[in-house]
Amino acid sequence: MLADHHILHEALDCVQKLHEISHLSVLVHQLRTLVGAANLAYQAVFIPGRVADDRLVAATYSDKWKKLYLSKNYFRTDPIEIAARKTSQPLDWKLLRSASKETASFFAEAERYGVGNNGVSIPLVDAQAGRALFSVTSNLEENDWAAFKARALPSLIQIGKAIQLRTAEIEVKAATGAFRGSALTAKETDYLALYVAGFEIKQIGDMRSVSGTAVRAALNSVTEKLNARGPRHAGYLAIALGIIPTSMVVR
């Protein structure tokens, strides 16, 4: 397992060689072998430039577990995700198992599907790269797992952060490449910032003394210029590209 600096440097080098988001699954499989884990899972809950409900997930779990996870809609009830929203500290699954009968059942089911006997999940929060969760599992016995975690956790945190930053870089680079170079007008930037801040089209029109049709036309223009999937996505891209400063969104 992750026992020396050589392995850490090799893992970080693998992360830096990632150039396409579609290859992230290959990367986590490589890293699983390097660190000697039963499974690895990386999921970006939010990346600037990606719509809020468009998650980026790559894991080495079995297809059976992945299908079961989706069929039972565990994205909403996963005790690891729920706990990760409340802390920035690594979460040892052992401490979550006894929280309730439901969580105990969840982990027992995961273990039956080969996820691993033990696990730790690392919440990752970065102002530029968004929010993600990096999980590492093992089939070591309790004492051996505790020793491994104590030794390897700092390196695992570094690897998780590296993946988060690298995937965010790739997303922003893709957005920059898609940008057609047509500068946004002052009105387009203003309306888009308000839209991303949560104001409805009619509210923006009332605030700026223009019709909703005018606001909608400006947002459509921005969407086209940024080659986005819609106004909301255009807003995330604009933030990621620095077109809209955070100060303009928080009002």
In the chain, count of helices (H) and strands (E)?
13, 5
Give dist(CA 250, CA 248) in Å, integer: 6
Domain ranges of the chain: 5-177, 180-249
CB within 8 Å of 116: residues ≥ 6 apart: 37, 38, 39, 110, 137, 138, 139
3-class secondary structure, 198: coil
pLDDT tens-digit map of 33-62: 999 999 999 998 776 655 545 678 999 999
CB hemisphere CA count around 62 (13 angstroms): 12
Query: What is the fold, at CATH topology level, of the domain defined by 180-249?
Result: Arc Repressor Mutant, subunit A (1.10.10)
3-class secondary structure, 122: strand
Give dist(CA 156, CA 93) in Å, integer: 16
Q: What's the pTM?
A: 0.73
What is the mean predicted confidence (pLDDT) over 146-172?
Answer: 91
pLDDT tens-digit map of 184-226: 899 999 999 999 888 999 999 999 999 999 999 999 999 888 8
Residue 228 scores a pLDDT above 50: yes
Query: What is the fold, at CATH topology level, of the domain defined by 5-177?
Result: Beta-Lactamase (3.30.450)
| DSSP single-letter state for residue 21 | G
CATH fold match for the domains 5-177 and 180-249: no
